[in-house]
Structure 1
């Protein structure tokens, strides 16, 4: 068996282009769960492994920061509520609204 030579490393500009084209728009804000910085992928706290998709808390925070909630009629940055009771996540309709505006 012969050892195979490793290929050339991927240029940083190309790597950034690939990652930016598939990155979820929630990466524009920091993750409240794993504390990944804006622009960086979420990681597992225990192993530090990078995740292909952001944590649900990050997606929820992104939707709250960017979209009006059609369910409870709150403006961006204002948390969703159910009849005055605070929610830990945003309504599904607010998440859909954020996805539509990002597209």
Structure 2
């Protein structure tokens, strides 16, 4: 017996269905390997987390917002005096910009 999947959900409706989730879930998690739109998990026991890992929030901010501090485009790492910030960090103002863009 085959299952009927129906029509795909339009993105305008999908946005409201996912409204309760953190916007960082729109990118894959570099820490635990969770796919986009899937929750982060604890790698040792598989427990599902209610909030994304900090590395995922950083990846989301870098992928979705321009940095007002160092004037870089989305997907470009933040820098200070011509050098990338250590550990792939982003400026605090970039987090704010990403949150405003997501709202």
- Structure 1 position 66 matched with structure 2 position 60: no
Please give the TM-score of this superposition, normalised by the length of structure 1: 0.79
TM-score, normalised to structure 2, is 0.79
Aligned length: 88
Q: Give the 5 Å matches for 1:1-103.
A: 20-87=18-85, 88-103=88-103
The alpha carbon displacement at 1:20 in A equals: 2.3
CA–CA distance in structure 2, aligned partners of residues 66 and 21 of structure 1: 17
Runs of 4+ in 1 over 2 A off after TM superposition: none
Deviation at 1:65, TM superposition (A): 0.5
Question: Please, which runs of 5 or more residues in structure 2 have no aligned partner?
Answer: 1-16
* Structure 1 unmatched runs, 5+: 1-18
Taking the aligned partners of 1:28 and 1:74, their CA distance within structure 2 comes to: 21
**Cα deviations across residues 21-72 of structure 1 (Å, max 9, x unaligned)?**
3210110110000000001000011111011000011011001011000000
Q: Which has the larger radius of gyration?
A: 1
What secondary structure is seen at the aligned counterpart in 1 of 2:18?
helix
- RMSD over equivalenced CA pairs, Å: 1.9
